[in-house]
Amino acid sequence: MRLSRFFLPLLKENPAEAQIVSHRLMLRTGMIRQEAAGIYAWLPLGFKVLKKIEKIVEEEMARAGSIQLLMPTLQLADLWRESGRYEDYGQEMLRIKDRHEREMLYGPTNEEMITEIFRGTVRSYKDLPLNLFHIQWKFRDEQRPRFGVMRGREFLMKDAYSFDVDEAAARKSYNRMFTAYLNIFSRLGLKAVPMRADTGPIGGDLSHEFIILADTGESAVFCHEDLINMPAPGNDVDWDNLEHIFEGRTALYAATEEMHDDARFKAEVPEDKQVSARGIEVGHIFYFGEKYSKPMKAVVNGPDGEITVHMGSYGVGVSRLLGAIIEASHDEAGIIWPESVAPFDVAIINLRQGDEACDAACEKAYKALQSAGRDVLYHDTDERAGAKFAAMDLIGVPWQLIIGPKGLADGQVELKNRATGERLTVPFEDGLAQLSKA
């Protein structure tokens, strides 16, 4: 993409309304624009990152055997009356009447609807286990939306739902999602710790939140330090046999505020390993057995009669993840994107736009890197060099390829790594080769 043809409305000043760094940086970089309280438009830079995160989530869900579909944003109130949650949900549920005065709502989650789909389509225990997921916009009418996409009202969520014949099978499904989540967050460059959590309005008796530590986190969390840097299981696992991964992660103490037991924490965790910090929730998984399947009559034919299915649900806050990643990875100059989700892989900075040799070298690099499959932003405007550096640092492109007349005279270009700040002068072709495989 040539910057001159892209739409990147950077702000010169820090927006006054932003209280936390991710909100400030998302506004300054023109990633989002507020259209109403807690409702944002995703401008092209933000949209690109959102899509890259979505793709990683989709890939890891598919690998864990979950099948993608898409449920609508609006739902019938009557569906929620079947589970008893229509009255329970309170003011966070956005209630709507259509032109025929039918009661509807903007879905804050989809347990009821997926249960309805299941009971209308699946007949036999032989079709289980089944795991379905979608990535769709949800709405929660927060009393006081704040912190940008971290606590918005219209937000993008990945939610998955598992169906099994009994609790033992449902625990296997839970472990599959538990493992997939560790892999997802690892690919996003995040150190997410699963913590015993409260089940809240979803219900059930087994639940983990996946938490990343950050000073701006919304709640207090407590865990054993060793959990923070544990490597993700990766994909070379036996998906039918993951209990050891679950055990390995849950043997050490980790709990959110609501589930925290301070006496146990201090007894179980050596003092120098006690981490008491703020955390951001990026995922939340639940096993809730028959909570929805029983009142909604989601049953299958088993070998010895009807079986009420055991269910779980598994959420990832996709739009919130942009904020969480920025909270975890930024510096004074701006965002430092992990390479996996950066809006562009490489920024080409032309130090003297209009200079014949510089323009030709930049064009050549632009084409070569694109051919190598890299997502390239060519900063091709006639702004001065300092402004170009600042802009590319601000939006956090992992690599800068800096091309100027002085270096070019010797056949040299400069590579800059955004995360380390390291700058390296190399022959032009070497620079291309290195960035082609970066």
Q: Which of 43, 232, 252, 390 binds a second copy (CB under 8 A)?
A: 43
The least CB distance from residue 40 to a second copy, in Å, is: 6
Per CB under 8 A, 35 contacts a second copy: yes
The least CB distance from residue 101 to a second copy, in Å, is: 11
Per CB under 8 A, 343 contacts a second copy: no
**Window 118 to 147, contacts with a second copy (CB under 8 A):** 120-122, 130, 132, 137, 139, 141, 143
For residue 358, CA distances in Å to 11, 230, 235, 374, 382 come to: 28, 46, 44, 21, 12
Beta-carbon contacts of 327 under 8 Å, excluding residues fewer than 6 positions away, are: 20, 21, 22, 150, 212, 214, 216, 217, 280
| Nearer to a second copy among residue 72 and residue 405 (C-beta) | 72
Number of chain residues interacting with a second copy (CB under 8 A): 53
Beta-carbon contacts of 57 under 8 Å, excluding residues fewer than 6 positions away, are: 135, 158, 184, 316, 318
The window from 5-13, 252-260, 272-280, 330-338 that contacts a second copy (CB under 8 A) reads 5-13
Beta-carbon contacts of 34 under 8 Å, excluding residues fewer than 6 positions away, are: 40
**Window 63 to 102, contacts with a second copy (CB under 8 A):** 65, 67-76, 79, 91-92, 94, 96, 98-99, 102
Locate the DSSP E strands across 235-375: 254-256, 274-289, 299-302, 305-308, 310-317, 330-331, 334-335, 346-350
The least CB distance from residue 428 to a second copy, in Å, is: 29
- The dihedral through the CA atoms of 348, 349, 355, 357 has a sign that is negative
Residue that is written with structure tokens 């949209």 in the block: 47
**Residue 305: how many CA atoms within 13 Å on its side-chain side?**
0
What's the rounded Cα separation, in Å, for the pair 415 and 404?
A: 12
Per CB under 8 A, 18 contacts a second copy: no
Q: Which of 44, 203, 302, 338 binds a second copy (CB under 8 A)?
A: 44
What's the rounded Cα separation, in Å, for the pair 419 and 336?
A: 6
Per CB under 8 A, 373 contacts a second copy: no
| Nearer to a second copy among residue 33 and residue 297 (C-beta) | 33
The least CB distance from residue 70 to a second copy, in Å, is: 4
What's the rounded Cα separation, in Å, for the pair 326 and 331?
A: 9
3-state secondary structure (DSSP) of residue 204: coil
The least CB distance from residue 106 to a second copy, in Å, is: 8
Per CB under 8 A, 7 contacts a second copy: yes
Q: Which of 117, 206, 433, 438 binds a second copy (CB under 8 A)?
A: 117
**Applying CB under 8 A, which residues contact a second copy?**
5-7, 9, 30, 33, 35-37, 39-44, 46-47, 50, 65, 67-76, 79, 91-92, 94, 96, 98-99, 102, 104, 106, 113, 116-117, 120-122, 130, 132, 137, 139, 141, 143, 153-154
